[in-house]
């Protein structure tokens, strides 16, 4: 069988031409395509953004808690200070009642001085005018008394002053009579704050 040389040459040329028409991407084009595809860098950016957001939120929460704790602490401090001052009013009235009802003729001058040291205002002036006659009567009668506070309570308060009700059981004795049965006294004692001190400004006996 004879081979057609010319036909064979044409086939060879066509086959070769077909292979030359195929486009093969060059290395630079492949690199450009790789840049377009999502990679690890995008994920890292998102993670960093998310972490920053969480940090901001956490900082805001912590700051809010600190502010809340500070406010609660301040309110607690104010409440404590108010309660402490209230107790000082009560304690001052209690001591004032004891000073007035616990006397001894043997040291009457000292007892009177103690009353005046804890007094102010109208009560101080009134007691100062009556103190010497009072001491003279105690000494002449050789009288003594002992007071015991049985009840005390804050009646009212306004600024630097307060009214305190005090109940006292008082035992008395003198040269003419043995110790008597305790008598119950009830007093309304006005207390005034003067600087850092609290003093009795008025005493009223009430039913």
In a domain? residue 14: no
The b/e string for 56-71 (b: 16+ C-beta within 10 A; e otherwise) is eeeeeeeeeeeeeeee
For 164, other C-beta atoms within 10 Å of its C-beta total 24
177 occurs within a structural domain: yes
Number of CB atoms found within 10 A of residue 150's CB: 13
Per-10-residue mean pLDDT for the chain, 207 residues long?
45 46 49 49 63 72 72 61 89 97 95 96 94 93 95 95 98 82 93 96 95
Place of tokens 């003729």: 105
Tell me whether residue 101 is in a domain: yes
Residue 48 lies in a domain: no
Q: Which domain holds residue 75?
A: 70-205
**What CATH number is associated with residue 95?**
3.10.450.230
Answer whether residue 56 is part of any domain.
Answer: no
Q: Based on the structure, what is the number of domains in the chain?
A: 1
Q: What pLDDT shows up at residue 18?
A: 47
Are the beta carbons of 99 and 118 closer than 8 angstroms?
yes
In whole angstroms, what is the distance from residue 27 CA to residue 200 CA? Answer: 102
Structure confidence at residue 7 (pLDDT): 45
Q: What is the pTM of this model?
A: 0.62
- In-domain check, residue 181: yes
19 falls within a domain: no
Cross-strand pairs, 148: 169
The answer as to whether 39 is a domain residue is no
Q: How far apart are the first and last CA of the chain?
A: 153
């Amino acid at each position: 069988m004879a081979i057609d040389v010319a036909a064979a040459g044409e086939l060879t040329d066509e086959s070769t031409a077909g292979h030359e028409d195929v486009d093969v991407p060059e290395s630079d084009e492949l690199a450009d395509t790789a840049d377009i595809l999502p990679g690890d860098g995008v994920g890292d950016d998102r993670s960093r953004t998310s972490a920053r957001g969480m940090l901001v939120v956490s900082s805001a929460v912590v700051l809010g808690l600190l502010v809340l704790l500070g406010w609660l602490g301040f309110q607690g401090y104010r409440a404590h200070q108010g309660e402490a001052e209230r107790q000082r009013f009560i304690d001052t009235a209690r001591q004032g009642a004891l000073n007035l009802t616990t006397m001894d003729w043997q040291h009457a001058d000292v007892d009177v001085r103690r009353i005046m040291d804890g007094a102010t205002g109208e009560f101080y002036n009134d007691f100062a005018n009556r103190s010497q006659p009072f001491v003279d009567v105690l000494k002449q009668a050789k009288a003594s008394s002992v007071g015991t506070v049985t009840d005390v309570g804050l009646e009212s308060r306004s600024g630097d002053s307060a009214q305190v009700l005090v109940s006292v059981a008082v035992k008395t004795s003198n040269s003419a009579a043995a110790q008597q049965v305790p008598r119950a006294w009830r007093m309304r004692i006005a207390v005034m704050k003067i600087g850092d001190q609290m003093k009795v400004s008025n005493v009223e006996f009430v039913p």
